[in-house]
Every structure is written in structure tokens, then in C-alpha cells.
Structure 1
Amino acid sequence: MSVKSILLCGFGAFGAQHALAWQQSATAPRLYVSDPDPAARDRAGALGLDHVTEDPSAYLDQVDLVDIVTPPRLHLSVALAALERGKHVFLEKPAVASVGEAKQLLDAVKRSGCSVQIGFVLRCHPLVEKAKTLLASGAIGRLLAVEGDFSGWKRMRDDSTVIENDGVHFLDLMRHLAGVPIHSVEARGVSLLGAQEDDDIRIDLTFVNGVSGRLRLGILACGELEDDFMPGAVTTKQLRLIGDGGNIVLDFNRNTLTQAQVSYTPKSGGWNVSPGSISSEQVIGVTPPSLLAKSFDLFVSAVESGAATLCGVGEGALEMASLLEAIERALVRKPLPQVALEKGD
């Protein structure tokens, strides 16, 4: 089939970004918009979008694909309605609110035969694609660990947690680059500012192939640069891939990839460490709309060809929901008992 028309469900700040990205995409489809908020519909109309409604079902039969950018609590109901009408679905993250919802979504996808892509757009970032190629070529040897830092001064959203809003991007990338599912997770969070929600979080992962992962999230540590995705926010968004022959560091604010080589030789005290070459490259022109547009084009190509999508429901919804539930369980455990340490004179 050829994709010519899109129903965009939800026209808040991210919905408007999606509309711009669709207009910039190679697909350049006719856009239909639904949103229950009159102010949102007015904003869509002010941008020249003339097919705007309150009820998404009004346009479902006129479109080829549905792009869901509603609040997360509404994702499942809108997705199920679209799939029941035989529509392909692009679903923003977090895709669902629970493992139970993920299973409902997966069942609906199987019944419909439609394609679904979860909106983890960093998967199509040129630096991620380059890192994936480098890993496959053995450029840093055997992958041992993946470490991420997605933190900084950035407002916390009302409808999702720091983990659901920021953390899922890196959790997905870590799984994507490790190439295998996550086996176990530990997490610790604190609220140093005194609010109900944790403002500093550390997550430790173990993948089924033994690769370890570690992620820091939070709003307390000052970031390094203004965040292109959130004007006024100052964040750090770095992912480090650690191999037994080197490192790859991805910086998503600077749009740089740094590759460093190293060799380790055993000795009586452990290892001799011999650093090798270090090189860095930067990609130009990567913006939130350009990444979204690229992810949309990849989705449309998958729909039209019948190929797998960039991130399907299995990884993007079911695995992620299971991981988020495991992290939540870890965060609500009672803290470890404190042990008094001896003090010297």
C-alpha cells in the first residue's frame, strides 16, 4: 500500500513537532488532526491544518496511518481503535502503562496484521547507526558494559516520570546496542529536594549475554549544554559503550561520536593498560524534527514493503513495560540497612 494520509492524535507541544516532521518527511502526507482540547485544535488551525476534529473516529476511515501523541494514559485505547479499523500505528513512548496493556496491544497487532512502530527516534540517529556498525565490526572488541547519563536541569512532566520521559530513550538504546534483552535490574532513587517523586535515580542492568548497564537520571546535576528537545533545559545526554578493546562515546547534545582504542595485558597486579588512538566525528543538521521525519520515513517504508519496523511492539512495548515495572518494584523496596563505619582517631 502507499501511505498518503495521516491522522495525528494529540496536538500538544509534541503533536505540533510531529506535524512539522511529517511535513518535512519524504512522505509529506495529508495531515488530519484530532484533539479534545479546543485550544489545541485552534493551534492546529493556525498552522494551516484544515482537517481538525475533536473525535479521532471522525477521520479514521479516511487515513492510511495513525500517529498517536496523546497523553500516555490514552495510548492504548486510541491504538486499539486504530488497529481494529485496520490502520497502521506510530505510537509515542512510553507506549503503554503496564505489561497487561502491552499484551493487549500485541494481541491486537497480531489480529490486525498492521504495522506498529514505537517512537524511540534515537534508534535512527546517525551516531547510533554508526555505533551499531562499529560494534558489529569488532571495533572495540567484545562489548562489556553500556553506561548512560541522561540528567540535567529540566522540568519534570506532570503526566510521566523522569524514567518514563527521559530514561526510556536510553534504556531502549542500551537494549538496542547490546542486541539482547535485559535479564535483571536494580534501581535506587532519592528525593533530595523533598518532593514525592525521586529527583536522582541510578539504574543497574544485566543483559542476558552478561553485558552490564548503568544509567543515571535526574534533575539535580547541571547538564553541559542546552537541550535541543527542550529549550531552556540544560542537560547531559551521553552513552558510553565499553569493550575489551576500546570505548565508543555518543553525545546526543553535541551530536558527536568519540572512538578510543585500548589494549589490556595481564600482569601480577591485574592489567597493564595501553591507550591507543582517539578519534571523534560530529554530524551536522540533526534536529528533533529531522530525527522524527527520518523515523516516519522508515516507518512508512516498512509499511509499504512489509518489512520490520524500527522498533516494534515486542521490544518497544512489552519488554519496556516489563522493565519499567521491574524498576518501579526496585525503587519502592525498603532501603538497605545502614551500617555504621569505624572512625579513626
Structure 2
Amino acid sequence: MENSKEHPSLFDRLGNSDGLQVAVIGCGAWGKNLVRCFAELNCLGAVADHHSATVAEILALHGGQALTFEQILVEPSIQAVAIATQPSRHFDLAKRALLSGKHVFVEKPLALEFRQAKELAALARRSGLRLMIGHILRFHPAFARLQTLIASGGIGRLLRLEANRKNLGAIRSEEDVLWCLGPHDVSIILALVGSQPTELHVVGGYHLRQGRADTVTLHLAFPAGERAQVNLSWLHPVKEHRLTVIGSEAMVVFDDGAQWDRKLLLYPHIVKVAENATATIRAEPVPLTIEQHEPLKLECQHFINCIVQGSEPITNGEEGLRVTQVLAEASAMMKRGHGLRTTPGRVNARHHHLDV
């Protein structure tokens, strides 16, 4: 699934950045976090945002210069941009930056249409520039440990994954809950399974607005028999960010809302199936030790390292394209609101549309 070029280690310190400078486009709540991380990595060159008060605040805290996007495109001291605007602008801004010879980090989703994501991935590949998507959970130390555990056979054969990403609020005006929250879990599930799904079944709930889902349940089936379920909601009383992984010999829970020493728990439960009976042997959970690093800082560091070293990002354009393919297929099913669709060589998708 990943690019054949070796990736820099997520936990390697930032090497000589050769004076590389990144401009952050969009300085809202999440953009400010990107600004802070690139500033701490000594790579913040400029910021661009329509709100002058926000820009002034950022410059006072972190330095850099205030430029427009058009100025950034022609500024030779800026080698890369990080885009944290509303998703509808991702495609246009990323395309213009790549065409201007800039490396691009773009927050999820890469684009809101599959054809747009495909164009960006192809453009980056042809130009030899780094294109990286902000699938931040791929850079979480708990995920890195989980991925190693599964790859080494530590839970036996991978059987099932279930992701819950729920909270109250943060309801977006232009994208639904699938495009807003779904990229996180689709990205990590595809990485852990190592293949694209062969079947997709999606249920959307439209409780607040017609035509824009605020709850989504996504079912995925994979070639080797693995199954996955993703539950997304903006209408949930408590925040829940949890991934449960079921193996033939053990189970693991990655709970991003837990304390650091309890974020990753291994459950060595055993289920024995005989011809006439089954037996369940329960065991106490075992906390797995994980290095304590800020995922966003690791993500920004990885982007810089990939530019300096000429390596492909873990979440490069091709990875973003695979995630977008799943989201776009599910979104199309919800919009059509009917029946079973088979796309040869890609995904079999079923949709039941719930208007509540």
C-alpha cells in the first residue's frame, strides 16, 4: 500500500532543513496549530489569512511575514505551503501551489471529489514535488505501535476493526460528517488492513438538514476477509474517538481520549470454537507502552524531512487518493439513495438512506 521509497522515521529529530520555509494558508483554529508546529521546527516563513487581526496575533507570537496567497506563490524564499482552509478550497489552492513549484501539505480531505484528488496526485507525481495529506492519526505514536503489533502477528490474524468518532457539534456548512470525520478512520483502517475494500455498505442519517448527513455508519469488507465498521456522528452527547481491533488471538483498543498510559490496551482474550460448543477466556487488559510525542508535531516534522530527504510522505497523494476513493464511493451511494451498485474492479456498495 505504501510507496516503495523508505519513509523517514516518525521519531527521528528534524535534520538540517537547509533554510526551508513553509507558508501556512488559513489560520483558523487548526491552522494556528500548524503555525505553532512549523514555528517550533524553525520552518515558518509566512502566513496568509483573510482576518488581519488573526495574522497580527500570529506574527506577534511566532514571527514570519504576512503575505497573500498570490504573493506566496511567487516568493522564492517559500518552498512549501500548508493548506488549512475550508475543504472546498483544497483542490484549487493545492493545484496552484504545485503548479508554482511548491511542496504541498493539505489538511484532510485532500479534495471533495475523486477526480480532483486523482489530478492532484498525478500532478505531484509528474512534478517530483511532495504532496502530503493531514491524516494526523497516521502519526500518532499509539497508531505506530498498533501497526507494528499487527504486522508482527501480535494479535494473530486480523479479523475486524471498529472505529467510533463521535461528538456533539462542530457541524460544518459545506461538507457532511463523512467528509469531515471519515478521513481519519478510513486512512488508518486502510493502512492496518493493507488493501482497498471490495465491498462497501453505508447508512446516512439526516436529522438536522436534508441532503447533509450528520450521522454515518460505514461497513467495509476486504479481500482477505477482514471487516471494518466506522461510526461517525455530530449528534452524540460525549466525545468518543476509539478504534477497536479484533484479532484471532487478542484484541486491542486505541482510545485517543484516554490518558497517555491507557491509550493503547491489549486484551489477550481467547475465544475457542469447537464443533458443539464455544468457550471464552477473558484476561485483564495490558497497557502498551508508547512514546509520548505530539502527533501534529510529528506530522509537520515528517513533511519537512520528506522534502529535505526527497522521500515520499506516508500520507502522500496516492494514499490520499485511496482514502478519497472510499469516501467518494460512499458519498455517491448516499446521494443516489438506492440499491446495490457494482463497480468492476473497485467497490461493491450498498446504501440505505434514512431521512429522519
Relative to structure 2, which stretch is displaced further, 328-337 or 152-161? 328-337
CA distance in 1, matches of 2:115, 2:108: 16
Relative to structure 2, which stretch is displaced further, 118-127 or 265-274? 265-274
Is the aligned partner of 1:169 residue 2:176? no
TM-score by length of 1: 0.85
- Give the SS at the match of 1:187: strand
Task: Please list the CA deviations of residues 120-150 of structure 1 after superposition, one character each: whole Å capped at 9, or x if unmatched.
Answer: 1111111001101110121110000110100
Change (3 A) 1:266 1:99: same
1:166-315 mapped onto 2 (5 Å cutoff): 166-193=181-208, 196-223=211-238, 235-254=239-258, 255=260, 256-281=263-288, 290-315=294-319
Alignment partner for residue 327 of structure 2, among 285, 299, 324? 324
Residue pair 2:21, 2:80 contacting (<8 A) in 1 also: yes
- Indicate the residue corresponding to 2:118 in structure 1: 103
CA distance in 1, matches of 2:55, 2:222: 44
Q: Which amino acid aligns with 1:296?
A: C
- Indicate the residue corresponding to 1:34 in structure 2: 48
Change (3 A) 1:270 1:31: farther
Shift of 1:39: 4.4
Q: Which amino acid aligns with 2:244?
A: R
Residue pair 2:83, 2:93 contacting (<8 A) in 1 also: yes
Task: Please list the CA deviations of residues 134-186 of structure 1 after superposition, one character each: whole Å capped at 9, or x if unmatched.
Answer: 10121110000110100121321223221122121111111111122222211
Is the aligned partner of 1:57 residue 2:71? yes
- Indicate the residue corresponding to 1:12 in structure 2: 28
TM-score by length of 2: 0.83
CA distance in 2, matches of 1:262, 1:86: 52
Kindly report the root-mean-square deviation, in angstroms, between the aligned alpha carbons of the 2 structures: 2.4
Q: Which amino acid aligns with 1:163?
A: L
- Give the SS at the match of 2:237: coil
Shift of 1:7: 1.3
Change (3 A) 1:274 1:50: closer
Task: Please list the CA deviations of residues 1-43 of structure 1 after superposition, one character each: whole Å capped at 9, or x if unmatched.
Answer: 7352111111222211110111233xx1142112244444344
CA distance in 2, matches of 1:3, 1:298: 16
- Indicate the residue corresponding to 2:345 in structure 1: none
Q: Which amino acid aligns with 2:132?
A: Q
Is the aligned partner of 1:90 residue 2:105? yes
CA distance in 2, matches of 1:308, 1:192: 41
CA distance in 1, matches of 2:156, 2:271: 11
Relative to structure 2, which stretch is displaced further, 243-252 or 321-330? 321-330
Task: Please list the CA deviations of residues 98-128 of structure 1 after superposition, one character each: whole Å capped at 9, or x if unmatched.
Answer: 1111121122112210111111111111100
Residue pair 2:178, 2:213 contacting (<8 A) in 1 also: no
Gaps of 5+ in 1: 224-234, 339-345
- Indicate the residue corresponding to 1:137 in structure 2: 152
Change (3 A) 1:56 1:33: farther
- Indicate the residue corresponding to 1:21 in structure 2: 37
CA distance in 1, matches of 2:185, 2:352: 27
- Give the SS at the match of 1:185: strand
Residue pair 2:216, 2:233 contacting (<8 A) in 1 also: yes
Residue pair 1:186, 1:205 contacting (<8 A) in 2 also: yes
Residue pair 1:145, 1:243 contacting (<8 A) in 2 also: yes
Shift of 1:275: 2.5
Write out the 4+ residue segments of structure 1 that deviate beyond 3 Å after TM superposition.
36-50, 55-60, 192-196, 281-286, 334-338
Shift of 1:245: 0.7
CA distance in 1, matches of 2:39, 2:31: 12
Change (3 A) 1:60 1:10: farther
- Give the SS at the match of 2:76: helix
Gaps of 5+ in 2: 1-16, 339-350
Q: Which amino acid aligns with 2:307?
A: V
Task: Please list the CA deviations of residues 70-118 of structure 1 after superposition, one character each: whole Å capped at 9, or x if unmatched.
Answer: 2212212222222223221111110112111112112211221011111
CA distance in 2, matches of 1:270, 1:82: 61
Sequence identity percentage:
23
Q: Which amino acid aligns with 1:87?
A: K
Change (3 A) 1:193 1:108: closer
Change (3 A) 1:200 1:137: same
Change (3 A) 1:178 1:217: same
